[in-house]
């Protein structure tokens, strides 16, 4: 999820040939709620990781992750 617009995220997904859409948080409500941003005026989000179980509950919260390695690490925890 990013603060970028749907158009920016779609272009990013095309560039990297993702086979899934990226989620947008343009009003930053989710970012603030999960601690990725201090307020809605924050320019960039912090790289956090949240593992959410099939029941919709947070299983793990990681306050700092690498964008390059976290996706694979998260898949290993599912």
pLDDT band, very low/low/confident/very high, at 76 (cuts 50, 70, 90):
confident
30: helix, strand or coil = helix
Residue 9 CB coordination number (10 Å): 19
What is the pLDDT at residue 3? Answer: 93
Q: Which letter, b or e, does each residue of 36-75 get, where b requires 16 or more Cβ atoms within 10 Å of its Cβ?
A: bbeeeeeeebeebbbeeeeeeeeeeeeeebeeeebeeebe
Report the predicted TM-score, pTM, of the whole model to 2 decimal places: 0.74
Per-residue pLDDT tens over the stretch 37-58: 999 998 888 999 999 989 999 9
Radius of gyration (C-alpha) of the chain in whole angstroms: 13
* N-term to C-term CA, the chain: 19
């Amino acid at each position: 999820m990013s603060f970028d617009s749907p158009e920016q995220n779609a272009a990013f997904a095309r560039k990297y040939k993702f086979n899934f859409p990226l989620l947008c948080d343009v009003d930053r409500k989710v970012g603030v709620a999960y601690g990725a941003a201090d307020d809605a005026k924050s320019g960039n989000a912090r790289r956090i990781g949240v593992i959410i179980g099939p029941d919709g509950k947070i299983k793990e919260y990681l306050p700092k992750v690498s964008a390059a390695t976290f996706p694979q690490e998260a898949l290993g925890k599912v």
